[in-house]
Every structure is written in C-alpha cells, then in structure tokens.
Amino acid sequence: MFSYRHAFHAGNHADVLKHTVLIAALQHLVEKDAALTVLDTHAGAGLYRLDGDYANTSAESADGIARLIAPGVPALQPALQAYLDMVRAFNQGAATRVYPGSPFIIQRLLRERDKLKLFELHPTDLRALAGNVAQLEAGRQVAVLHEDGFEGIKKFLPPPARRALVLCDPSYEMKNDYGKVLDMAADSLKRFATGTYAFWYPIIPRPEAHDLPRRLKTLATKAGKSWLHATLTVKSSKITENAAGDVKRPGLPASGMFLINPPFTLKAALKEALPQMTELLAQDKNATHTLESGG
C-alpha cells in the first residue's frame, strides 16, 4: 500500500500552483451553460487541518499558502487572489486552519447541474474523503469511488453533455505512475478529444519526471490539440553537505501543471500570477517559473 499522504503536504508551494491553475480553469469552464463533468483521478482526503499532526510534521504550508497571507503582502494578481479567497472561504476569522483539497475546491465552483467523480485508493484517505463529502449534502452531484483513477475515468468519457475537466494529480510514489499518466492521457483523448485535461507532476531529478511534459506535449501536438505548460521552482534541487558531513536534501523544489485543451483565458491569467507566485514563494535565488503554450 502507498505511504504518500497528502495531509503532510497540504497548502505547500505545489498546491498553490496546482490549485491556482485549477480554479482559474474551472472558473472559465462554468461560464458556459451546459453541464460539466469533473473527474478528479487522485482525490486525497478532501479537507486538511493545517494545525493538525500531519501538517505540523513538515509544516509545508508555511512556505506555501501562509506566505500569501503574511503581513505586508502586496495586492495579489486576480488568479492568486481567487485562490486565496477560495482557501479563506473554508476558514472563519483570520487564521487559516483548514485547507481545501481539490475535491472541495472543485465542488465549491460547480453549479447544481454539474457532476464530480472522485477517485481515491488509500483506505484512510478514502474514509476521510467519504466523511467530508457526506457533510456537503451534495447528493448525487458528488460520487466518491474506491477505484484506480487511471482506469476508473474510462467509463465516464465521453460525459453526457460532452463537457469535462479531468484533474490527474498522482503522488508519483511509484515510478510507473509517469507511464500511467501518459497512457491515460492518450486513451482519454481517443475517448473524448475535446475535454480539458490537467496533469500535475513533480520536477525532480528523475528521467521519468523530466520526460513527462515533453511526452505530453508530443501527444497533444500529434492529436492536434492545444496545450499549456506552467512550472514553478521555489529553490535549488541540489543536495548539500555541511562540514560535519550531514547531507541535506532539498525536498520538492519545483512542480509543473500541463494542460491539454486549456481554457483560452488561462495563459493570460497565469502570465500575471506566476511572477508574483514566484516572488512570494521563493526560498532561494533559484526561484523561477516558466509558461509556454502551443497548438
């Protein structure tokens, strides 16, 4: 069984990038009348306590969401402000104790006619997710599925109203997750070529991680689809060693979001937000971002 638990990482810099992109994309998609189906292939627990045991173990949110609400932060760019407003909506008062994961972010933006399918394999996260979702009293709008998201989405594509957003956010704990993402992307485009597909991935010194966006780009281009690729680096990826020989690993230094058929408004929104995100989340002078698109 997997050991990855998103509660250790909730609200970190990778979540800031992923959830800012998710909100900006979804806000555009719900502007059209027709019902939207959202498939969240790797849902996690749905809600996280930032003052709980898990989050405190690494306190990753201190270098993520917390930096956006620190005193002296200038006015935020619209996409970052929308992200912060979303997190605030789950918290009363000034303190940020609760962090919404992708299922709760998505559900809050949906209309009654839209549907949300959540896939989660880990039994503990599944239990937490099912309990959290039950409190929404969203009825048939939200379905929690104890299934492999890579496989499970197949039966929902194409969706009834032929409009869908797929968020694919694996933990990449297993090396073969990279290949599964590519297989899923290729299969999904065959089933439903006009869906919007959003893939998060870690930027780490591993060939599969390096290759993933390149291969997604090739896939989208060959299928004649537009794509958008945004990355955020907050620190150096170098492993350092002090005089006593203690080795310090940097943790996750960077991550990316790759979208196929992105909403046309997304690039402009990120062009404004990414420089500010980089500035606010920088942990050393290596902090940077990229934004490219094609198709």
The single residue of 114, 169, 177, 246 carrying the catalytic annotation is: 169
Cα–Cα distance measured from residue 166 to residue 168, given in angstroms and rounded to the nearest whole number: 6
Cα–Cα distance measured from residue 87 to residue 97, given in angstroms and rounded to the nearest whole number: 10
DSSP code at position 290: E
Cα–Cα distance measured from residue 173 to residue 74, given in angstroms and rounded to the nearest whole number: 36
Residue 153 sits at the vertex; the CA angle it makes with 149 and 158, to the nearest 5 degrees, is 165
Q: What is the CA radius of gyration of the chain?
A: 18
Active site residue 63: no
Identity of the residue, 166 or 220, whose beta carbon is nearer to ligand SAM in the bound complex: 166
Peptide bond into 205 cis (omega under 30): no
| Residue found by looking up tokens 């996280």 in the block | 48
Using the rule CB under 6 A, is 119 a contact of ligand SAM? yes
Of 169, 191, 173, the residue nearest 106 (C-alpha): 169
Please state the closest distance from residue 77 (CB atom) to ligand SAM, in A.
21
Number of amino acids touching ligand SAM (CB under 6 A): 20
Q: Which of 42, 115, 117, 163 binds ligand SAM (CB under 6 A)?
A: 42
Identity of the residue, 204 or 271, whose beta carbon is nearer to ligand SAM in the bound complex: 204
The closest residue (CB) to ligand SAM is 101
SS3 of 211, please? helix
Please state the closest distance from residue 155 (CB atom) to ligand SAM, in A.
14
Residues 161-180 that bind ligand SAM (CB under 6 A): 169-171
Q: Which of 11, 29, 35, 44 binds ligand SAM (CB under 6 A)?
A: 44
Continuous H helices in the chain: 13-29, 53-58, 65-68, 78-88, 102-109, 123-136, 149-152, 177-191, 207-222, 266-281
Using the rule CB under 6 A, is 121 a contact of ligand SAM? yes
Please state the closest distance from residue 186 (CB atom) to ligand SAM, in A.
17
Six-digit token string for 67: 């930096």
Q: Which of 60, 63, 114, 125 binds ligand SAM (CB under 6 A)?
A: 125
**Cβ atoms of 39 and 184 closer than 8 Å:** no
Please state the closest distance from residue 105 (CB atom) to ligand SAM, in A.
8
Site pattern 81..110 for ligand SAM (x: CB under 6 A):
--------------------xx--------
Cα–Cα distance measured from residue 102 to residue 96, given in angstroms and rounded to the nearest whole number: 17
Using the rule CB under 6 A, is 120 a contact of ligand SAM? yes
Please state the closest distance from residue 276 (CB atom) to ligand SAM, in A.
21
Using the rule CB under 6 A, is 286 a contact of ligand SAM? no
Using the rule CB under 6 A, is 6 a contact of ligand SAM? yes
Residues catalogued as catalytic: 169
